[in-house]
Amino acid sequence: MAGFFLFLGDDMVEFALGLVFSTSGPYAALGQAARAGAELAIADLAAEGLAQITPVHRDPGGRPEAYEAATEEILRTGVSHVVGAITSWSRKDMIPVLERHGGLLWYPCPYEGFESNDHVVYMGAAPNHHMIPLVDRMLAHGVRRVYLLGSNYVWGWETLRLARERLGAAGVEIVGERHLPLGDTDCSRALAEIAATGADAVVNSLIGPSNTAFMRGLPRKGRPAVLSCNQTEADLDVLGPFAEGLIAAGSFFEALGSAGFVARGGAAAPNGRCSGFLATTYASVRVLAEAVKRAGTTAPKVVFEAACAAPHESVLGRLDLDPVTRHAALTPHIAQVREGRFALLSSAPGPIPADPYLIDLPPVPAQSAKTPSLRIVT
Amino acid sequence: MTYSFAGRQARVLHPSAEMRDRLVRRLASLGIRAEGRWPALDPQDTSADLLVIDIDRGESGQFPWAAGAAPMPVVGLVGSETPGRLQWAIDQGVDALLPTGAMANLFSALVYASARHAERTERQRTEAEASRRNGMRLDLIRAVIALMQAEGIGDAAALKRLRALAMVERLPLEDAAQRYLSDISALRGRA
């Protein structure tokens, strides 16, 4: 399938690109950020004379059952590339359609790993980029009692399973675990359990309104450390002061971007912030356009090979794609919200190949030698 | 639990060189070192940790073990769904099926095959153990009789004494019976 492809002179390619992002519904803030990144990349590519991309938008409204039809509508018209899906739930619903039509999804979000589909390019962080470094940081800081909280679908299940296994292997007590339905804002039981168990940290894999309700429900003073692999600048305005102190793992934070890109990204985003979702989607569209140009076609298999053939200079830094795992090598970063902005706490020295099946897990680090926290038992 | 196959050795038995290469690459992405084979496995392939075979073209004489006795988890690639081929796969003890068009799900097939193989191995071990203990029933009877005579007690009390011995020595009852018989035999020898 190579519909809608034209070479415009020596330097410019023209093709249509599906953008399937929920810009309404329970996780609209993330979809809006990602779509803004795609639109900014499309505008930049046109302005630079590199590509003329016609976006074909669909908004599934955060309804899982709508993704399949939205993707089908786009691919049936001969478009072969789609950038989109925020949740793994939606990505998994899109895959059978992509397989039927021979399409390729450029997926720009962090996800839980354990997937390597021939119709997907995984541009976001894999677990060895997010949860593993995040857990290892917790262990290095002597965490003892951890509560796990996530949205009730595969992202929450798998990220928290990984945290539970790795923290448990280091002897950390998991004092509770709860999964909330997507969109549920009743966090009272989780909040009560966290208070009752005296957790010193919460691993938070909630998304959307559930996350907002939880972060707003936590007492601002004396709250346990809250750590997340999915929170970015896209979440900050809705959380306001309740985000203060939140620690997040990710492959991009505003502090890492060039001033120019962060300013333009912020101007393009509805919440005025240049988030990891925006930057990764921006990078995805650019890598795709460069690969289409190099390949001289939009045929997905050839484009993917071209994308893997050479590294890309991107807003995420140097970006290599692995032709076997189909994942981007990314630099893991950990940042903390301070006065409404993510301040970097640590970064890996450089890009790390994604390890979606965790075949090369680093050994569980020894706990710090801090005195164990003791509880008064009455 | 997180299954990790890193460092494992696999063999891929498939007539297509292209398919063998694809599988070897896929397996490598899971940290598995794999080698392709056709038309048959080598005798030393019994030491491999995992095996992927082609159900469409597989034959019974390709394996250095009896049908159903593969010493490792076996994933069968299925294309044709003819009952005869599927029966052959069942007879070979294939632990998990992977449609040829679903290579992206190789990890799932390996996890499933590993779990089924572990069950298969455990079942064989318990069956072999039950068979071994069944073969020692006569010694159990002899030990009960010897205890009844030596201690002047009834059969239930003698069996109870043997159970206590088995518990203390952490042995199956039949092994405890053999231990008792060999101990009294040694005592008699010394007397």
pLDDT in tens, B35-92: 999 999 999 999 999 999 999 999 999 999 999 999 999 999 998 888 889 999 999 9
Tell me: do A116 and A22 sit in the same domain. yes
Do B84 and B70 form a contact (C-beta atoms < 8 A)?
A: no
Do B162 and B144 form a contact (C-beta atoms < 8 A)?
A: yes
A357 touches chain B (CB under 8 A): yes
pLDDT of amino acid A204: 98
Q: Is residue A370 in some structural domain? A: no
Name the maximum alpha-carbon separation found in chain B.
76
Q: Do A359 and B103 touch (CB under 8 A)?
A: no
Tell me: do A306 and A197 sit in the same domain. no
pLDDT of amino acid A371: 46
Please, what is the Cα angle at B14 between B8 and B16, to 5 degrees?
A: 125
Do A226 and A218 form a contact (C-beta atoms < 8 A)?
A: yes
Which domain does A246 fall in, by range? 131-255+333-347
What DSSP character marks residue A30?
A: H
Q: Do B104 and A115 touch (CB under 8 A)?
A: yes
Tell me: do A77 and A206 sit in the same domain. no
The model's confidence at residue A8, banded by pLDDT at 50, 70 and 90, is low
Q: Write out the two tokens for A106.
A: 């450029």
Share the mean pLDDT of chain B. Answer: 94
Tell me: do A204 and A308 sit in the same domain. no
Tell me: do A342 and A222 sit in the same domain. yes
For chain B, what are the domain ranges?
A: 9-131, 137-190
Is the CATH code 3.40.50.2300 the one for domain B9-131?
A: yes
pLDDT of amino acid B80: 85
Q: Is the pLDDT of residue A4 over 60?
A: no
Q: Is residue A355 in some structural domain? A: no
Q: What is the per-residue pLDDT across A14-37, written as a single tens digit (0 to 9) for each?
A: 999 999 999 999 899 999 999 999
Out of A117, A324, A360, the one facing B28 most closely (by C-beta) is A324
pLDDT of amino acid A64: 87
A115 touches chain B (CB under 8 A): yes
**pLDDT > 90: what percent of chain B?**
88
| H helices present in chain A, as ranges | 28-47, 64-76, 88-101, 131-140, 154-169, 188-197, 208-217, 233-239, 259-268, 276-295, 300-309
Q: Is the pLDDT of residue A374 over 80?
A: no
Q: Is the pLDDT of residue B33 over 70?
A: yes
Question: Which residues lie closer than 8 Å to A340 by C-beta, 6 or more apart?
Answer: A236, A240, A241, A243, A244
pLDDT of amino acid A318: 94
Domain total of chain A? 2
CATH code (residue A189): 3.40.50.2300
pLDDT of amino acid A6: 66
Whole-model pTM: value is 0.85
Tell me: do A169 and A302 sit in the same domain. no
Q: Is residue A306 in some structural domain? A: yes
Q: What is the three-class DSSP state of A326? A: coil
pLDDT of amino acid B2: 73
pLDDT of amino acid A367: 65
Tell me: do A16 and A96 sit in the same domain. yes
pLDDT of amino acid B185: 82
Q: Is the pLDDT of residue A44 over 80?
A: yes
Q: Is residue A367 in some structural domain? A: no
Q: What is the per-residue pLDDT across A202-259, written as a single tens digit (0 to 9) for each?
A: 999 999 899 999 999 999 889 999 999 999 999 998 999 999 999 999 999 999 999 9
Q: What is the per-residue pLDDT across B136-190, written as a single tens digit (0 to 9) for each?
A: 999 999 999 999 999 999 999 999 999 999 999 999 999 999 999 999 888 776 6
Q: Is the pLDDT of residue B16 over 50?
A: yes
Distances (CA, A) of B124 to A30, B65, B75: 53, 15, 19
Tell me: do A264 and A247 sit in the same domain. no
Residues 2-21, chain B: which have Cβ within 8 Å of A? Answer: 2, 4-6
Q: Is residue A368 in some structural domain? A: no
Architecture (CATH level 2) of domain B137-190: Orthogonal Bundle (1.10)
Q: Is the pLDDT of residue A300 over 80?
A: yes
Do B37 and B13 form a contact (C-beta atoms < 8 A)?
A: yes
Q: Do A359 and B104 touch (CB under 8 A)?
A: no
Interface mutation target, options B1, B2, B22, B106, chain A, most CBs of A under 10 Å: B2
Q: Is residue A361 in some structural domain? A: no
Tell me: do A32 and A114 sit in the same domain. yes
pLDDT of amino acid A352: 97
Q: Is residue A1 in some structural domain? A: no
Q: Is residue A357 in some structural domain? A: no
Please classify residue A268 by burial: count the beta carbons closer than 10 Å to its beta carbon, then call 0-12 exposed, 13-18 middle and 19+ buried.
buried
Among A4-8, A66-70, B7-11, which is the least confidently predicted range? A4-8
pLDDT of amino acid B101: 86
Instruction: Measure the CA–CA gap between A315 and A308, rounded to whole angstroms.
Output: 17
